[in-house]
Amino acid sequence: MCGIVGASGPGNQVPQLVKALSRLEYRGYDSCGIALQATGRIRSVRTLRRVTDLEQRLTTLGLESTTCIAHTRWATHGAPSEINAHPIMSGDAIAVVHNGIIENYQTLRIALSSRGYTFHSETDTEVIAHLIHSEYTGDLLVAVRRAVKQLHGAYAIAVLCANEPERLVAARSGSPLVVGIGAEHNYLASDCWALHHLTDRFIYLDDGDVALITPERIQIIDADGRDAQRPLFRVKAHDSAVDLGPHQHFMQKEIFEQPKAVRDTLAAIDTISPSLFGAGVDARKLLSEVDNVLLLGCGTSYYAGLTAKYWLESIAGISAQVEIASEYRYRETVTNRRTLVVAISQSGETADTIGALDHAKELGEPPATMAICNVATSSIMRATTLAYLTRAGIEMGVASTKAFTTQLVALLLLTLTLARLRGRLTAAQTGEWLDRLRRLPTDIESALALETQIMGWAVDFADLEHALFLGRGMHFPIALEGALKLKEVTYIHAEGYAAGELKHGPLALVSGAMPVVTIAPDDQLFQKLVSNMAEVHARGGRLYVLTDSSSAFDTAKDGRLIRMRDGAGMLSPILRVIPLQLLAYHVGCLRGTDVDKPRNLAKSVTVE
Ligand code: AGP
């Protein structure tokens, strides 16, 4: 999704800023641009192409500057086009880059038009630029503060003013922004990852903050107009994440990193205890007080929550609801004040999940909120009392893979912790669970070894336009995730269903042209699933079955089989999803899609 970077300091900052912008490319974008202070005026360069194109244009134009802002845009208001690309200018005086959505932009646009402002783009951002211009009386910081008070919606902005050559002003509400502190320079970004080649010292702006950034100082003014001090964080870079190694794409690399990601997520755990979820807070007391769990997330993170519901109810004996964050935040719900609210998010910046978490807090003052997240410094991690940091390492591919499996591991640890607190597990049983979890990375390696067989399936899928994924019980969410992965990276229309639902509608779709991927472990639902598969077979559907090594299947009748190791038990969803990730990846490669940056999608979805 949109990315912001900015820099102010001696020397030409353009090359560093372009590099910073390129570090945000993995998030997905459709255009990019830069605005820079150049001898008393602002120059702006925009392109509908990649950051490398922007770089070439800047070199050709020979543009240099000590103070600049740049942006990658993921279109919301207005089509992807050069005119809608940021920076957006108000005349020659003000340049703005913006992440987020201004909900009252139509009203503001009408008001500004009546005051003589002309709009050139279709963006909501243009109202911000004109609003700041209209409030400007000689101090950019003051003008931005006045302007943002009139905005409704979510935003992170960076602003330049032609009259104030070394000053860069930033503001945020609902979209992340971080200030990077250098030796002689100061920087700005929507994600500290962008600035890791420049600094490891960061200040996170709070909602409502407006900041003035010059080479010498950072001044932050909070929502109430007071000078604010925000803590300084040191955040280490993990630059190995940007090397593909022997892999062709980040998605493939990240699928194959799952044994390590799970091992790292489990590292340093020698026992199951509430302290896993919070050092400085009384996690035991908070978790002992809950009798219900509400899991919030979007997309793949929502499916992690759906899987955890099966674990929480059967292992910990605690009721659990899973809500799509964007739905929950606007729904009237019945509040249970003994609910643990768990926000699941890889990025920790998903606007819908942050909104849902805020909504849950407003509704019922739950005794505990918890983040399950892969980014230690993210907004969601800072907004909850309890947290579990998954240690998947940065995920560059838009399609979530290792983040999902590590979320599942974290959710299983939460389940075991609640089960222990509720007297559902003895110390010996807990030890057995830990042993099984420690074997998980090796089991994932076995699942990864199925890649060649999956590539055989992928050839069959490459020319298709539809697919069904079926599962039952805790594999139903894995069917949903398998379908989502296929949709995302191959653009094949895919649907996941609880296999028992087949006869209630989707069976009408089944014909000789419909591949049906079935997750069929030899568990208590196996015979039921075999019946569901027979329904598909009888209608000529093409079955692709992921089953166990010992389950009784007739390949001639039951379609193409891939057998996985027996005995995964409750850990089975974590293993079964891996062949489905590989399937999506290889079908995407065969169809020639951009598997790491699928069209229209963004990695970090910071707008509603
Ligand atoms: C996963 O492959 C997707 N790209 C997407 O569904 C993602 O899981 C969702 O946007 C939630 O993101 P988050 O985990 O960063 O909150």
Atom of ligand 1 nearest to the CA of 485: 2
- Residue in the structure block whose two tokens are 């896993």: 276
Residue 22 CA to residue 16 CA, distance in Å, equals 10
Q: Which one is the CATH code of 243-441: 3.30.930.10, 3.30.980.10, 3.40.50.10490, 3.55.50.30?
A: 3.40.50.10490
Amino acid at 120: H
**Would the pLDDT of 84 be above 90?**
yes
Residue 600's pLDDT band (cuts 50, 70, 90): confident
Atom of ligand 1 nearest to the CA of 346: 14
Residue 501 CA to residue 469 CA, distance in Å, equals 12
The tens digit of pLDDT for each residue in 107-119 reads 999 999 999 999 9
In the chain, what are the domain boundaries? 3-237, 243-441, 451-591
Whether the Cβ atoms of residue 292 and residue 318 lie closer than 8 Å to each other:
yes
Sheet holding 368-373, edge to edge: 319-324, 292-297, 339-345, 368-373, 386-389
Ligand 1 center to 404 CA (angstroms):
9
Q: Average model confidence (pLDDT) for the chain?
A: 92
For the chain, what is the radius of gyration of the CA atoms? 25
pLDDT at 240: 60
If you take atom 9 of ligand 1, which residue's CA is the nearest one?
299
**Residues 94-116: what's their mean pLDDT?**
94
**Residues 284-313: what's their mean pLDDT?**
96
Residues of 391-413 as b/e, b for ≥16 C-beta within 10 angstroms?
A: bbbbbbbbbbbbbbbbbbbbbbb
Whether the Cβ atoms of residue 421 and residue 405 lie closer than 8 Å to each other:
no
The tens digit of pLDDT for each residue in 28-42 reads 888 999 999 988 799
**Would the pLDDT of 549 be above 60?**
yes
If you take atom 11 of ligand 1, which residue's CA is the nearest one?
298
**Would the pLDDT of 178 be above 90?**
yes
**Nearest-CA neighbor of 76 among 44, 46, 121, 33?**
121
Whether the Cβ atoms of residue 69 and residue 14 lie closer than 8 Å to each other:
no
Which CATH code for domain 451-591? 3.40.50.10490
**Residues 305-311: what's their mean pLDDT?**
98
2 is catalytic: yes
Residue 279 CA to residue 201 CA, distance in Å, equals 23
If you take atom 4 of ligand 1, which residue's CA is the nearest one?
399
pLDDT above 70 coverage of the chain, percent: 98
Residue 334's pLDDT band (cuts 50, 70, 90): confident
**CA distances in angstroms from 269 to 275, 419, 523, listed in the order given:** 10, 17, 29
Whether the Cβ atoms of residue 329 and residue 323 lie closer than 8 Å to each other:
no
124's CB contacts (< 8 A; 6+ apart) are: 76, 77, 98, 101, 102, 105, 153
Whether the Cβ atoms of residue 320 and residue 418 lie closer than 8 Å to each other:
no
pLDDT at 332: 86
| pTM, entire model | 0.84
Ligand 1 probe mutation, 190, 298, 380, most atoms within 8 A of CB: 298
Amino acid at 44: S
**Would the pLDDT of 584 be above 70?**
yes
Residue 537's pLDDT band (cuts 50, 70, 90): confident
373 is catalytic: no
**Residues 287-306: what's their mean pLDDT?**
96
**Residues 183-187: what's their mean pLDDT?**
93
How far does CA 502 lie from the centroid of its chain? 31
User: Of these residues, 253, 485, 487, 603, which one is catalytic?
Assistant: 603
pLDDT at 30: 87
- Give the three-state DSSP class for 531: helix
Pairing of strands 227-228, 493-498: unpaired
Phi/psi-derived region of residue 16, left when phi > 0, alpha when psi is between -120 and 50, beta in every other case: alpha
pLDDT at 607: 75
Q: Do domains 243-441 and 451-591 have the same CATH topology?
A: yes
Ligand 1 center to 297 CA (angstroms):
8
Ligand 1 center to 298 CA (angstroms):
6
pLDDT at 77: 83
pLDDT at 430: 94
User: Of these residues, 2, 32, 192, 373, which one is catalytic?
Assistant: 2
Whether the Cβ atoms of residue 370 and residue 277 lie closer than 8 Å to each other:
yes
φ, ψ for residue 117 (rounded to 5)?
Answer: -80, 140
**Residues 408-412: what's their mean pLDDT?**
98
The tens digit of pLDDT for each residue in 441-491 reads 999 999 999 999 999 999 999 999 999 999 999 999 999 999 999 999 999
**Would the pLDDT of 587 be above 80?**
yes
Ligand 1 center to 304 CA (angstroms):
11
- DSSP for 274-328, please give it: GGGG-SSS-HHHHHHT-SEEEEEE-HHHHHHHHHHHHHIIIII--EEEEEEHHHH
How far the first Cα of the chain sits from its last, in Å, is: 12
Residue 42's beta-bridge partner residues? 37
pLDDT at 554: 67
Ligand 1 center to 605 CA (angstroms):
8
The tens digit of pLDDT for each residue in 212-251 reads 999 999 999 999 999 999 999 888 766 566 678 888 999 9
pLDDT at 187: 97
If you take atom 16 of ligand 1, which residue's CA is the nearest one?
345
Burial of 570 (0-12, 13-18, 19+ CB in 10 A): middle
Whether the Cβ atoms of residue 188 and residue 177 lie closer than 8 Å to each other:
yes
pLDDT at 239: 59
351's CB contacts (< 8 A; 6+ apart) are: 100, 154, 174, 175, 605, 606, 607, 608
The tens digit of pLDDT for each residue in 513-530 reads 899 999 998 888 888 888
Ligand 1 probe mutation, 175, 191, 301, 306, most atoms within 8 A of CB: 301
The tens digit of pLDDT for each residue in 201-214 reads 999 999 999 999 99
The domain 3-237 having CATH identifier 3.60.20.10: the answer here is yes
Q: Which long-range contacts (CB under 8 A, 24 or more apart) does 116-123 make?
A: 117/90, 120/83, 121/78, 121/83, 121/84, 121/88, 122/77, 122/78, 122/79, 122/83, 122/84, 123/77, 123/78, 123/84, 123/86, 123/88, 123/98
Output the ligand 1 site: residues, CB below 6 A.
298-301, 345-347, 350, 353, 398-400, 488, 605
**Would the pLDDT of 585 be above 70?**
yes
Ligand 1 center to 436 CA (angstroms):
28
φ, ψ for residue 372 (rounded to 5)?
Answer: -115, 110
